[in-house]
Amino acid sequence: MRTEKVMGSGQKKESLAAEVRSLFVSNIRDYAMYIALAVIFLIFTITTKGLFISSRNLINLVNQTGYVAVLAIGMTLILIIKHIDLSIGFVAGFLGAVAAILLSNGWNVWLVIPTVLACGVLVGVYQGFLVTKIQVPAFVTTLAGMFMFRGLLSMVTAGTGTIIVRDRVFLQLSNGYIPDLPWGANFDFHLLTMLVGIGLVAAMIFSQVRHRQSLIRYQFKTNSPTIFAVKQVALSVIIMVITWIMASYRGIPWTAVIVTVVLLIYNFVLTKTRFGRHVYAIGGNAEAAELSGIKVNRVTFLVFSSMGLMAALAGMLYTSRLASATPTAGLGFELDAIASSYIGGVSVGGGVGRVTNTIIGALVIMSLTNGMNLLGVDISFQYVVKGAIFVLAVAFDITTRKRAKA
């Protein structure tokens, strides 16, 4: 009886304009990120006289974002459970160098990749052990890690300086494209890419419709059919535009494939599995999680291990991209990863965040880098800009969250 009245006022018919307004107000945090991305695109497109949105540069942007995106996905979990990992930059740099060394020693690339990934997990296991079993704060553990791996990176590159990578397969990781179907030659675009794009749109619409139906069944707040349809159309258009850009160039870069697979796995784990639920619960209230039977230490340990794995993957992507390992690889990656997560909506207070948004955050950060590089902005000044954007994003996040409560 009592609930009915609340629901009556909650589910009442709103006018479309009112709904758009309330949608905007309550999701300002998410929309701000997209608006920021659009503004960045616009500004760089104008200032570079269109160079920024050329297919070539956009593909370049995707390849550039790859390693940061992978790190940021791992970092998102770490930040959700209210820890931090400052070591990932040099862990990635060091493991990238290890990959280069193994390759130049004649190891088979299909052996190198799993070996380096395993090393990454080991690094994560070591740091996770310190954080959970010995209770050394993550800040301290990973700050120490940052120094250690920076040192190790210098040591392994000390003799030779830069280590060149020549393995064809390995170089494909960050510079190659998926092959086309045999019939692709008949088209003046990349056929497989187009098909994948269309398939993606279909899958997205299908899953969104199902999700919406389930929400409606349990009286969750849902958008009106109009808004829902507009949203689907807009997203489909965006996906198709991106697909077209790639198809008319050389197809989907392998980096995009790798990032997508990682993203899908992490998204699945976070939203659909018990482990994911435990991660959010720990971030929201570790004490309550513990008293609900969650093994907080075990989850924390696994999250650090996954971070190590991602650092290894990112290191290889970066080495592949430069076709070499350098003594300074990894410098500042942790900042990019942390900034991506926060821009993507991870709460500074923990417990909140989505890997799908983190990817957008990574795009924001890397568009900035890419655009400023195109403009020939001095690297020192780039640091100032990035730092400022980072802190602004977090400040904005905190104030909008506070406002949302009122």
Neighbours of 257 (CB within 10 A): 16
By the rule CB under 8 A, 27 interacts with another protein: no
Q: Judge whether 386 and 60 are in contact, CB under 8 Å.
A: no
Can residue 120 be called a binding residue for another protein (CB under 8 A)? no
The type of residue at 86 is L
Query: Which is nearer to another protein, 49 or 402 (by Cβ)?
Result: 402
How many angstroms separate the CA atoms of 330 and 61, rounded? 18
Residue from 215, 234, 388, 398 touching another protein (CB under 8 A): that is 215
- Tell me which residues in 257-316 interact with another protein (CB under 8 A): 272-275, 277, 280-281, 283-285, 287-295
Neighbours of 338 (CB within 10 A): 25
Are residues 78 and 355 in contact, defined by beta-carbon separation less than 8 angstroms? no
Q: Is residue 221 near another protein by the rule CB under 8 A?
A: yes
| Per-residue interface string for the shown chain with another protein, residues 315-354, x marking contact by CB under 8 A | --------------------------------x-x-xx--
> Is there binding between residue 13 and another protein (CB under 8 A)?
no
Our finding on whether 212 is near another protein (CB under 8 A) is no
Interaction of residue 26 with another protein, rule CB under 8 A: yes
CA distance linking residue 239 with residue 256, whole number of Å: 13
Please, which residue, 29 or 295, has the CB nearer to another protein?
Answer: 295
Residues near 179 by beta carbon (within 8 Å), at least 6 away in sequence: 192, 251
Number of residues that bind another protein (CB under 8 A): 41
CB of 265 to another protein, least distance (A): 12
9 sits near another protein (criterion: CB under 8 A): yes
Of 107 and 228, nearer to another protein (C-beta) is 228
The span from the CA of 89 to the CA of 336, in Å, is 9
Q: Residue 43 class from Cβ within 10 Å (0-12 exposed, 13-18 middle, 19+ buried)?
A: middle
Triad 219, 222, 228: Cα angle to 5°: 145
Task: For residues 170 and 174, give the distance between their C-alpha atoms in angstroms, rounded to a whole number.
Answer: 8
Does the footprint of another protein cover residue 168 (CB under 8 A)?
no
Residue 30, interface with another protein (CB under 8 A)? no
**Least Cβ distance, residue 74 to another protein (angstroms):** 20
Question: Which residues would be at the binding site for another protein (CB under 8 A)?
Answer: 2-3, 5-7, 9-11, 22, 26, 214-215, 217-221, 272-275, 277, 280-281, 283-285, 287-295, 347, 349, 351-352, 406
